[in-house]
Amino acid sequence: MARKSRLKQPAGCRCAGGHAGRCPRMTGDPGIRTRMRSGAGFTLLELVIAVGVLGILAVLAQGQFAGYIDRARVGAARADIAMLSLEILRYQNVNDGRLPASLADVGRGDMHDPWERPYHYVDLTGKSRGKARKDRRLNPINSDYDLFSAGKNGVYKPQVSQKDSLDDVIRARDGGYIGLAKDF
């Protein structure tokens, strides 16, 4: 049986192939280079396409996320207004049916809506009846008091159906409705 002779590898070669004097990896043989490259990484075109797809997905996700944040803030404002309404009712029961002059009277004068603005409260039982917020037919939306958040844009008008007031979170029908003015 003939024995295979082992050829000496060039200095610096770590591959297991017995080369006759020249290591193809060290000499820059194009055949070896392409074979090594095909599984070693991505081409520039592949990276550009991947970044483009990720960019499109990020834009779509950001839009969905912003909508979710807005809905969550409206929900938090609705819960706050419902809680404030209960505290005002509790104040009324303790004070012989009188409404508080401000939210500070019920201990909530420093309370802010989810957009970091104070809640608006107007007692409608006294002289301030003309300050009542109104629906699209100019009828007052409450007979006892108005309680609302100016919403995302922070601007409100006396009539809740006006453009600037559509994002307001309102209490209407004497507490029978709490939600966005555009849905009222």
- Kindly indicate the confidence band of residue 75, based on its pLDDT and cuts at 50, 70 and 90: very high
Rounded to whole angstroms, how far apart are CA atoms 113 and 62?
23
- pLDDT tens track for 84-116: 999 999 999 999 999 999 999 999 999 999 999
On the question of pLDDT at 14 being above 70, the answer is no
For position 91, what pLDDT does the model report?
A: 95
For position 64, what pLDDT does the model report?
A: 87
Q: How far is CA 53 from the centre of its chain?
A: 22
On the question of pLDDT at 38 being above 70, the answer is no
For position 165, what pLDDT does the model report?
A: 93
- pLDDT tens track for 43-57: 999 999 999 999 999
The answer for residues whose C-beta is within 8 angstroms of residue 78's C-beta and 6 or more apart is 169, 178, 179
The structure's pTM equals 0.69
**What token pair was written down for 178?**
């709490």
- Report which of 82, 81, 72 is spatially closest to residue 148, judged by C-alpha positions: 81
